[in-house]
Structure 1
Amino acid sequence: MVDVAREAGVALRTVSRVVNGDATVGDKLAERIRQAIDRLGYQPDERARQLRSGRTGTIGAAVRHIADAHPVLRAVDETARGLGLTVVAMSTEDDPVREREAVMSMCRRRMDGIIIEPIADGHQYLQPEIDSGLAVVAFDRPATGVSVDTVLSDNRGGIELAFGHLAAQGHRRIGYIGDDERIHTGQQRAAAFRDCLRRTGVALDGMVHPGPIEPGRIGAALDALRAGPEPATAIVTGNHMSTIEVIRALGPDFGSTALVGFDDFGLADLLRPGVTVVAQGDREIGRTAIELFRERLAEPARPVRTVIVATTLITRGSGEIAP
């Protein structure tokens, strides 16, 4: 920075202000300093900046499946980059041990905060880090055993949207195939679906099929719903993974049974018929997670917040098939 100040003919403090984004430096002067920086190939020392500020400008993100398309993680990254923050993401693969390893690895690297898609039954191990000032935001499901800011989708409202839409098409025998109920979203959506059946007077027996997202299990659930004297004429799926497996299991029969999926997914609009979905507000969830993170950094003692993001029904054809 001394070299840059000499090259630009300004005080060292002025260079520091430009490097640190101080908007009070005049445009012409700031441009002269930036040109000197370019000529000399100067790079700010992020480690030194972190030591001075106590902040790293990085956020850890622990999500279920990083190898899959992850719209919320994309929204988190886009929002963070717009604020000059860096996101470092790791995958937990629905494994509580792997989740803890990933999260504690991020803690050891002294990131400013962690945005987590929780999978473990307990997150008490995070309490010492939270007490030390780590900002933690959970999304998609609550963290357990600790009190942290949380962003959730309106799971119940989304299922009611899907069920009500199919009922409006004339369907009375509506089945459900969803995620494992040990996962918060799987439990919430299956419970909401059971309530929808109860309100319409339809027996629950054989109509609700939560469980692991495995082809064999999904195929068996689909067979059960389509068998018997009163087969299901419509299906609600609990997330995009179960939707895809149901479509794969239906094969050439896709389009013979009405279908509404929870979660939108790539190519849903290109299938024939297009897949009607209840879309989560992925961009809103990601944006809100970063907003809660920044609020927590600015005011560590403020009350914990939980934000529920609304869902939207997108009709494309599969949910409009008559009984």
Structure 2
Amino acid sequence: MRDVAVLAGVSPATVSRVVNDERYIRPETRYAVERAITELGFHRNELARGLRPGQTTETVALLIEDPANPFWSGVTRGAEETARRHQHMLVVGSTGQRFEQERDLLRDLVRRRVDGLLVTPTAHDHVDLHAELARWAPMVFIDRVPQGVPADSVVLDNYGGAREAVAHLTAQGRRRIGYIGGDPAVFTGADRLAGYRRAVEDAGLGYDPVLVSLDNHTVEAARAAATALLDGPAAADAIFADNNRICVGVLHAVAGRDEVGVAGFDDLELVDLLPRPVPLVTYDTVELGRRAAELLFGRIAGETGPTTQVLLPTRLVLRGGRGR
């Protein structure tokens, strides 16, 4: 702590106040101390604990987008089971896919000295924030590829899964396949759109942007988008939905239109009760959380070396079709 104080030009007591996030510290003083911490290669948590190596809060954190989405229940379960095996508690926070909320949660968790972070970053470019936080605690990305951040990641084969699902539709003779997605800036959405595009091009259909509808974030928005693709100039004869919420909206739109094909990414609750068969891209969400947590605990234990990206496979499963 004395070395930090000398480099920052402040007293050791001031360094202590900064690393413990006390109030009434001038911004320029806080910046000087944090810059000195980084330059000297210390971790803020180590300073807050008196630079005693080996100490731990026995807590890791998982930041998720939407706790109401069944996807996250599996991820949370896998991460929590792994944390328990490592004698750690898992704390879960929700970002709501809002950058400001994510930023505040991350900074608060670091101030609380969690031993590591499992994160699914929002779509916006905030590499500097994650790079800053990665200096204080190990970080693993879930279903996102780190850009400019020294972090491990576990991702689904979003590209391959989407390509396989759309290829299934083309094999059925579909020729006007619509795509309904969410935020195109999100890594998963961009990869799934690329998989869709490759599949229609492989089938010799060509990529038609008229058949693509993006920025749909609710069931109702997806329903309206699907109706527009079916009844408008696009004249779609099938639709690929790039997530479970969008797929629900699409299924509402095609109710009573048995001639329209539907495929989706993500499993759906109660989908087996549907009268129509629906091919869905499925995967093991529990394994996704488990693998990410194992990578994190490896880093917490002191593992060094190049960052790791784990690609989890997907599987196309025909669901629904009750009574057929």
TM-score (norm 2): 0.75
Q: CA deviation at 1:274?
A: 5.0
Paired residue type of 1:72: V
> Does the CA contact (< 8 Å) of 1:194 and 1:208 recur in 2?
no
Gaps (5+ residues) in structure 2?
1-48
Find the counterpart in structure 1 of residue 57 from structure 2: 56
Q: Name the % identity.
A: 33
Q: CA shift at 1:89, angstroms?
A: 0.6
Given the superposition, is the C-alpha separation of residues 274 and 83 from structure 1 closer, same or farther in structure 2, using an over 3 Å criterion? farther
Matched, 1:211 2:212: no
Which range is displaced more, 107-116 or 83-92?
83-92
Counterpart in the other structure of 1:74: 77
Aligned residue in 2 for 1:118: 121
Greater CA drift, 226-235 or 96-105: 226-235
For the pair 1:191 / 2:189, whether they are aligned, the reply is no
Contact 2:161 2:195 in 1 (8 A): no
Rg larger in 1 or in 2?
Answer: 1
Deviation of 1:75 (Å): 1.9
Displacement of 1:97 in angstroms is 0.5
Q: Secondary structure at the match of 1:269?
A: helix
Q: 2:59, 2:89 within 8 Å by CA — same for their partners in 1? A: yes
Q: How many residues align?
A: 268
Deviation digits for residues 278-312 of structure 1 (CA, Å, limit 9, x no counterpart): 01331221111011112212234321011111101
Shift of 1:76: 1.5
Q: Aligned-pair distance for 1:229?
A: 7.6
- TM-score norm. by structure 1 comes to 0.76
Q: Is the 8 A contact 1:177 1:236 kept in 2?
A: yes
Moved more, 179-188 or 89-98: 179-188
Moved over 6 A (4+): none
Following the alignment from structure 1 to structure 2, what is the Cα–Cα distance between the partners of residues 317 and 170?
20
**Aligned 8 A contact 2:221 2:249 in 1:** no
What is the distance in 1 between the residues matched to 2:146 and 2:190? 15
The 1:281/1:170 distance shift into structure 2, 3 A limit, reads same
The equivalent residue for 1:130 is 134
Tell me the distance in 1 between the aligned counterparts of 2:257 and 2:311: 33
In 1, Cα distance between equivalents of 2:277 and 2:81: 28
TM-align CA RMSD: 2.4
Match of 2:169 among 166, 186, 210: 166
Instruction: Provide the residue aligned with 1:27 in structure 2.
Output: none
CA distance in 1, matches of 2:110, 2:306: 23
1:81-105 deviations in Å (ceiling 9; x for gaps): 2333211011100100100111111
Unaligned runs of 5+ residues in structure 1 are: 1-47
Contact 2:283 2:313 in 1 (8 A): yes
1:307 aligns with 2:318: no
Give the CA deviation at 1:192: 1.9
| Whole-angstrom distance in 1 between the partners of 2:139 and 2:234 | 48
Q: How far apart, in 1, do the equivalents of 2:222 and 2:135 lie?
A: 43
Shift of 1:67: 3.3
